[in-house]
Amino acid sequence: MPTAVVPISSDLKRKAWVREGLLQSVHLSFWSQFTGRTFDSVVFQENDISSGAGHTVVFDFDGNLSGKAIKGKTTAYGKGEQKKKFSDKITVDRYRLVVDNGDRFDGVDIGDLSINEHSDSRVKLGDLFMRFKDQAIFDTAQGFKDGAVPSHSIQIDGYDELAAIELTLKTGTGYTTGGFGSVTPAAKRAPLKPFRAIDGRPAWLFVVDAFTAKSMRVDADMKSLLSQGDMRGPDNRLWKGVLGRIGQLVIVEADTFFGFTQGNGLDSSEVEVAGMRTFDDINAAWSGEAAYDPTTTSLYSRGIILGAGAVMLAMGKMPDYKWQPSQDFGIKSESMLETWMETKKTVLLAENDSYKDAVISGIDYSVIAVDVKIV
């Protein structure tokens, strides 16, 4: 009997290739451990290809009931609280990562033919996509992407304030607006909803960069606080970069961004290392931008405190791997990883005018910026 053969140009073959490349690189992703398909995850990913690429992906959120009880025999019917429904949406766009495979024989001189093989391109593109996607989430949460100023922020001078910050998250008071030295009183907001750790414990994620992590390790107050932190458990050990825990606040160190940036969209950065950006307040520039000066006397490190549903990741079309030979008898080729996606901080939009003044509506739902002056 003849054996079924799948040609190299088959869609099934391409999907297998890209899945292989992405699976090999997923362990490199900082955000994969905090991403899920539910609103309870820090990064809420929604996959929607029902309308084709380039469409709007809708995120659906339910609000809690908050009405008061009816006492005694007072008529209750007709006084029912309206159920709250919120939504947010993202229009996805096409993004393509491309690599030149070169001439197969280009690798002969250095004794490495694999550098011109499709398998090598798949792995490298998978790795680049993970950094590309991670950076999109970092930039979204920090407020670099699209120049989005955080709706609420906290400025701290010392790490003994972290215990007070945990109270702030629980009570919904004590924030300022803007960032980088702003002292404007903040509008009221609801307490930050925690996500659930793998073992079920409620927690907030405090992501810091290498500058803040280093100063935390040598700070006398932090040494005492972190010594009480306990993230034991067979599952939670999978979290990367955990410095410690203060109450329900889990402090995690992320990599520092390294690359070159022109603009603040997803297509603006060459990402060598995905991670947190610092801010040069004198030149109003983020690390990676041409105007950024790391020796300035007003440099800020922006940490981000994240709760459930902080960032939305819309995937309109899952990554696809393609390759194209050159017109000159295919002696060269280029490989491409294509995806339709976009990211955004969650801002709940009320579906009814009667509850548009809700304390969870119209603000960064579960992202708080924490600005620390480095120099």
pLDDT 10s digits, 62-105: 666 667 787 788 888 877 777 766 777 888 999 999 988 777 65
Which one is predicted more confidently, 53 or 131?
A: 131
pLDDT at 188: 73
Cα 269 to Cα 29, 109, 184, 316, 326: the distances in Å are: 17, 32, 32, 21, 27
The alpha carbon of residue 26 and the mean position of all alpha carbons in its chain are separated, in whole angstroms, by: 14
pLDDT at 287: 95
Which one is predicted more confidently, 112 or 175?
A: 175
For residue range 297-354, list pLDDT tens digits in order.
899 999 999 999 999 999 887 788 888 888 887 778 888 888 899 999 998 877 666 5
Say whether pLDDT at 232 is over 80.
no
Min mean pLDDT across 87-91, 277-281, 337-341, 360-364 is at: 360-364
Strand partners, 271: 259
pLDDT at 121: 80
C-alpha torsion sign, points 106, 112, 113, 119: negative
Residue 309 corresponds to which amino acid? G
Say whether pLDDT at 158 is over 80.
no
Residue 324, both tokens: 């194209």
Dihedral Cα 168, 171, 176, 178, nearest 10 deg: 100
Say whether pLDDT at 112 is over 60.
no
Mention every residue, 6+ apart, whose C-beta is less than 8 A from residue 224.
none
Mean pLDDT of 170-198: 77
